[in-house]
């Protein structure tokens, strides 16, 4: 293989490992032996996932080998990535340092060596860190990687009714792929089913499928464009909502200002009218109090003159009182006639005004031309009655 040549320079220095190929290796190589022409003349069907898991992945960390993550082979012919082997070495080094006094080493190994154990076969290997770095690349795995990379992949779909049969035919009547068993069981030619080889059906219907795909992609692009337009219109509606809410708030604020102004005027009217009435009542009270005071004063003078037997003063006071009382009596309608001034709030237009307020203002919609592909959008506006300007 071409890629295998680039790893020929990798060599193991130090204690030479046993490079004798295992039986599994020889068996696999015999299966893969033969020229490229022989491989092209036959089809190989195998479980790609299982093959990759067994041969192309590190059995320790499960990562797939690559040109960056090369497989390094231990003397037992089991391969791991360099990180996992380094981790095995570090663990063995920690164990050596922990049990240094009881750690026994063979006589023919360097003092810096540690004993690592293969995770697959439990084979032991005394090795130094420098030797770990120079472990050879597993060229057989590299060759398998190169083989899989240059091998065409085919996906075989099996029949849902006859699980072991691949779908090799196509029934034009039912418009579905079928297997060989289906042609004699469920899709008989005697019953009007006309079937052909699946590859011929693909060649026949591929242009139709391509046209359908093109149409679907075009429709998808059109739908995406419409979605973008709708998103833009949604944002515009959200902006109009904010503007409308501000306008409604300002409109109602003006109405409240008018009501507040009218309330102030009505309060002033109440204050004025009630104050005038109170002033009139106070004037009448003052007149009655003055007359009562004069009468009480003259009555006391008359009593005193009578007690003093002052006849002249008695008749003089009597004449003054007679003259004072000869005028028209003071009439107070609130007392004499039982009449008083009453006040009330006239709300004769309240129900009509309440009805108009309940229907005041409205939110209407109308279609307007947009600049987006000549489509129309719905825009809301405030509607006001002409009688409330």
Long-range Cβ contact pairs of 67-72 (< 8 A, separation 24 or more)? 70/7, 70/137, 70/138, 70/142, 71/137, 71/138, 71/141, 71/142, 72/135, 72/136, 72/137, 72/138
Structural domains present in the chain: 48-150 (3.30.40.10), 202-330 (no CATH)
Burial 123-140 (b: 16+ CB within 10 A, else e): eebbbbeebbeebbbbbb
The pLDDT of residue 133 is above 70: yes
pLDDT value for 18: 41
Residues 242-280 have pLDDT tens digits of 999 999 999 999 999 999 999 999 999 999 999 999 999
The pLDDT of residue 31 is above 80: no
273/269 Cα distance (integer angstroms): 6
Assign 369 a pLDDT band (cuts: 50, 70, 90).
Answer: confident
The pLDDT of residue 20 is above 90: no
Handedness of CA 127, 132, 134, 136 (dihedral sign): positive
Better pLDDT: 155 or 68: 68
pLDDT value for 55: 85
Residue 176 backbone dihedrals phi, psi, to 5 degrees: -155, 150
pLDDT value for 222: 94
- Are the C-beta atoms of residues 76 and 135 closer than 8 Å to each other? no
The pLDDT of residue 295 is above 70: yes
Assign 220 a pLDDT band (cuts: 50, 70, 90).
Answer: very high
Segment among 111-120, 144-153, 182-191 with least mean pLDDT: 144-153
pLDDT value for 155: 67
The pLDDT of residue 321 is above 60: yes
Structure tokens at 67: 């040109």
Assign 101 a pLDDT band (cuts: 50, 70, 90).
Answer: low
pLDDT value for 95: 85
Q: Which residues contact 281 (CB under 8 A, 6 or more apart)?
A: 334
Selection from 43, 37, 41, 39 nearest residue 156 by Cα: 43
């Amino acid at each position: 293989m071409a890629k295998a040549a680039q790893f020929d320079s990798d060599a193991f220095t130090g204690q030479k490992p046993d490079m004798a190929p295992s039986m599994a290796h020889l068996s696999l190589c015999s299966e893969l032996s033969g020229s490229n022409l022989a491989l092209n003349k036959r089809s190989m069907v195998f479980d790609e996932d299982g093959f990759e898991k067994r041969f192309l992945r590190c059995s320790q960390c499960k990562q797939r080998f690559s040109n960056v993550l090369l497989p390094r082979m231990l003397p037992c012919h089991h391969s791991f990535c360099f990180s996992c082997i380094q981790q095995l070495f570090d663990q063995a080094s920690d164990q050596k340092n922990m049990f240094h006094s009881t750690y026994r080493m063979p006589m023919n190994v360097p003092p810096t060596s540690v004993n690592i154990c293969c995770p697959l076969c439990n084979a032991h290997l005394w090795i130094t860190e420098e030797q770990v770095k120079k472990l050879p690349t597993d060229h057989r795995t590299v060759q398998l990687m190169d083989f899989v990379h240059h091998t065409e992949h085919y996906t075989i779909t099996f029949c849902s009714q006859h699980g072991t049969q691949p779908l090799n035919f196509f029934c034009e009547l039912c418009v579905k792929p079928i297997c060989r068993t289906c042609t004699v069981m469920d899709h008989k030619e005697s019953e009007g089913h006309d079937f052909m080889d699946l590859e011929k059906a693909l060649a026949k219907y591929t242009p139709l499928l391509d046209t359908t795909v093109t149409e679907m992609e075009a429709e998808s692009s059109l739908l995406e464009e419409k979605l973008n337009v709708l998103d833009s219109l949604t944002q515009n509606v959200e902006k109009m909502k904010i503007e409308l809410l501000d306008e409604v708030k300002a409109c109602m604020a003006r109405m409240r200002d008018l009501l507040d102004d009218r309330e102030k005027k009505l309060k002033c009217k109440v204050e004025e009218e009630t104050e005038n009435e109170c002033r009139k009542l106070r004037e009448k009270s003052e007149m009655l109090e003055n007359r009562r005071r004069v009468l009480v004063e003259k009555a006391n003078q008359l009593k005193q003159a009578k007690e003093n037997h002052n006849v002249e003063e008695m008749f003089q006071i009597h004449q003054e009182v007679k003259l004072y009382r000869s005028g028209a009596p003071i009439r107070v309608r609130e007392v004499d006639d039982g009449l008083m001034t009453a006040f009330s709030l006239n709300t004769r237009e309240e129900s009509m005004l309440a009805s108009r307020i309940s229907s005041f203002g409205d939110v209407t919609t109308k279609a307007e031309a947009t600049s987006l592909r000549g489509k129309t959008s719905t825009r809301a506006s405030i509607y006001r009655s002409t009688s409330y300007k």
